[in-house]
Amino acid sequence: MRDLMFAIAMLMVIPLAIVRPVNAYLVWGWTAVLIPTSYLFGFMQGARLNFLFAMIAILLVLFRRVDWSLYKPNRTVWIYLLLLTHATIAFLLGFDGNKDNGTYYEVLAKVMVFCLLMPMFIHQRLHIHAMVMVIVFGMGIHGVLDGLKTLSSGGAHNMYGPRGSMIYDRNHLSTALAVVLPLAYFLYQYARHRIMRMGFLAAFALIVLAIMAGGSRGGFIALAVVGFWLILTSRRRWSTLLIVATLGSLLFVFAPERWTSRLSTIETADSDASFMGRVVAWKISAAIAVDNPVFGGGFHAVQYQPVWDRYKDAPSPLDFLNIEIPPFKAKAAHSIYFEVMGDQGFVGLLIFLGMLSHALYSRGSIKRMAQELGPRFTWARDLGDMLMLSVLAYMTGGASVSVAYLELIYMVVMLMEILRVHVRDAHAAEMRARKVLATAERSASPTSDKAAAAH
């Protein structure tokens, strides 16, 4: 019955997607982050909904159902094109026999296509808000459901994402949920109706609960960063402080012992076998980059056993740690930074860091221009703050997990750039209008009339 109802709903959406191309694009993004078929168990389980709506959106572009003149390549578009070009060469030059090389290159290429088309579909305030809702109602649903399961099980629920996806691992899912958390808070602030505001606040609390239940140390650190910066950046500082303090107190009082015991290992990371295994993976990823500094070893090269064995004793920038390499199987890089370093070399890492840094820089530009534009653009300032916080959560939580090619972060970074361009254009128009008005006032002033007569 669930599969049938969902199939009917998707069939009803298809005509709406064809009539309004932006609908096709939004559903394409929603199916990418939610993976709705993972919650189905019948004939719809293998349906390729994401591919279907991607094809509809792309065909609508090719047949010019979308106004191509609206597409204005921005800075992030050029960064993404550079990243995709470099990643393509890294994939082609990757080590032979590594099956993950093609798999993760395909993941990155797909999200690049989605994001490179975003400026064509998302260019108004309504579209920007809709894209935020797509992200929250996509990735956020995982957190809401896991939060509810945690409540119903008294904290005994073990969190996992959709099987076969990048967020199946609880550590990966925890980081992804920390990224979406600030955007859920933004929707709470700007929902018109009280019931909707309470709904988004409840979703925010359930996502926090899910992250805690995941037991991920990286997720916990990202959550702490989100809470701290929410208080610092929010215009409603006291209400935000009350919400964060209340949630923190409830979790501290009612958290099961297995949660706190897991998080307490942060203090003893140097004696934790799991953490030291990650450091070994970092060392080997760096060794791969030293030997292949421009293009690296290909996607997830460090997880390919022959590559691991080849580089486990090779020179590495982390040799000063004097780590003894244990005789275990190849491990994931366990860090977005070392993951990109090993996969795409030092050049790829610089492009990746440039992408994230530009998103953080854009927040400052948005805030400055929004303040000059006045109350009408307060929403843009607040959204810029929340998008920046999502990037910070990713950068901190991702320091210990392999989610460098998580679709969500590329969407967030491009959305930040689209917001910057939207505010920039409005700011430029406002400045032109003020200049024209000032010129008109000077021309109409008595002083100007006398000066003109004397002349």
Residue at token pair 């020179």: 315
Read off the pLDDT of residues 418-439 as tens digits, 9 standing for 90 and up: 999 999 999 999 989 888 888 8
Residue at token pair 């792309």: 58
Question: Has residue 143 got a pLDDT over 70?
Answer: yes
Read off the pLDDT of residues 255-280 as tens digits, 9 standing for 90 and up: 666 555 555 555 545 545 566 778 88
Q: Which two tokens stand for residue 307?
A: 């590559």
Measured between alpha carbons, how far is 181 from 265 in angstroms, rounded to an integer? 24
pLDDT value for 179: 96
Query: pLDDT band at 253, cuts 50/70/90?
Result: low
Question: Has residue 310 got a pLDDT over 70?
Answer: yes
Contact, 208 vs 247, CB < 8 A?
yes
pTM for this prediction: 0.91
Query: pLDDT band at 198, cuts 50/70/90?
Result: very high
For the chain, give every domain's residue range: 1-66, 73-121+272-455, 125-271
More confident residue, 389 or 45: 389
Measured between alpha carbons, how far is 328 from 307 in angstroms, rounded to an integer? 14
φ, ψ of residue 367 to 5 degrees: the values are -65, -45
Read off the pLDDT of residues 375-412 as tens digits, 9 standing for 90 and up: 999 999 999 999 999 999 999 999 989 999 999 999 99
Read off the pLDDT of residues 334-371 as tens digits, 9 standing for 90 and up: 999 999 999 999 999 999 999 999 999 999 999 999 99
Q: Which two tokens stand for residue 349?
A: 């890492």
Measured between alpha carbons, how far is 22 from 126 in angstroms, rounded to an integer? 11
Task: For residue 131, give every residue at least 6 positions away whose Cβ sits within 8 Å of its Cβ, in sequence order, or none.
Answer: 26, 29, 118, 122, 411, 415
